[in-house]
Each structure stands twice: as structure tokens, then as C-alpha cells.
Amino acid sequence: MRYWLMKSEPDAYSIDRLAKDKTAPWTGVRNYQARNFMRDQMAKGDKVLFYHSSCEEPGIVGIAEVCKLAYPDETQFDRKSDYYDEKSTRDNPRWLHVDVKFVKKTRLIGLAELRGNKALANMRVLARGNRLSITPVDPAEWEIINKLL
DNA sequence: GCCAACGTTGGC
DNA sequence: GCCAACGTTGGC
């Protein structure tokens, strides 16, 4: 089993929304590295740190779990969607996504707190210039964060 | 709104 | 394959 951190802008999809929906298709990823993580490495039961980005208080806000393996992202075929991709075909879909299910909300562990914790200094999401919306999390890092909750 | 950092595109 | 231009992300 692996551990991940997945970013979402709360205006687009928040932890509260996931708490209500129970499960969510993680559509809209349009970055190859992030897609490859979902396609090649994510398995059912993988644990996810749910992270709010581009908002007043960016940081970890909850826990989720991968509940469905990667499959084609319908939004790439929808001309009306912001995520429409005219170069993608049903025979050879370019974009895939997993589904995640709600586990729990946590207190906010903000960016400053993450950066201030030496044991978390190597977290991928904290790397300089990182923009990836999905990043792997070390089991050791996962443990440390769980103790902070 | 600013801007650093990075990914993608497209001309050559 | 190179690389400049452009677009996006995301913290501040």
C-alpha cells in the first residue's frame, strides 16, 4: 500500500464536499506525471492526505482512500467541460483518474507547520517550485503526520 | 495582483 | 532535438 498527497482547491472540491459525497471521481488532472501516478501506482486502499491549495489556509485538511482504480476521465470528452481535450479519443483516452473515498476530516495542518517540521523537510509537496497536484508520501512521513493530528 | 517555477507548444 | 514563448500553479 502506498501513501499520497492530493491537492484540491476548496472552491473546486473541498474536504467538506467529500465528507458529504462519501466518494469522488478525481477528474480533471491534466498533468502527465500526476496521471501516471494514478494509472501506474495507485491501488485500492492507498491512503491519501487531502490538501487544500490556492486558498486562505493551504494545508492538509483530511484523509481519504483510493477506492477505484484508474479509468478514463469523462470530462476529456465533454466539449462543455473546462477539461475537454480535443486530442483525446475514446479508443485511446489520454486522461485517467481514480476514485477516492472519504475517511475523515482532520485539523488543518498548514504549510507553515509542515515546513517547520524537520522530519517532513523532504516531503515532495514541499519541494521548491513543486506544482504537482499528486505527490507520493513516504510511510515515515505519513506516520509523523498522523501523530500530529 | 505579483511572480517564481515549471510544463507544454510549436517553429526551426 | 533545441529552445523561446506562453500558460498554469499556487504561495504570498
Q: Residue A61 belongs to what domain range? A: 3-148
Query: Does the pLDDT value for residue A149 go beyond 90?
Result: no
Nucleotides, chain B, CB distance < 7 Å: 4-8
C-alpha separations of A5 from A37, A66, A78, A108, A122 in Å:
11, 11, 27, 14, 13
pLDDT at A14: 97
| d(CA A122, C1' C10) / Å | 19
% pLDDT > 70, chain A = 100
pLDDT at A96: 96
The SS3 of residue A56 is coil
pLDDT at A72: 96
Question: How high is the mean pLDDT of chain A?
Answer: 95
Whether any strand C atom is under 7 angstroms from the Cβ of A112: the reply reads yes
| pTM for this model (two decimals) | 0.94
Nucleotides, chain C, CB distance < 7 Å: 8-12
At A82, the amino acid letter reads D
List of E strands, chain A: 3-8, 23-25, 47-52, 59-72, 96-110, 134-137
> Which residue is the nearest neighbor of B8, CA to C1'?
A31
CATH of the domain at A7: 3.10.590.10
Neighbours of A11 (CB within 10 A): 9
C-alpha separations of A14 from A20, A54, A119 in Å:
10, 12, 27
Q: Pull the grid cell for residue A47.
A: 491512503
C-alpha separations of A96 from A44, A68, A143 in Å:
15, 12, 29
Tens digit of pLDDT for each residue in A26-73?
999 999 999 999 999 999 999 999 999 999 999 999 999 999 999 999
What's the total number of domains in chain A?
1
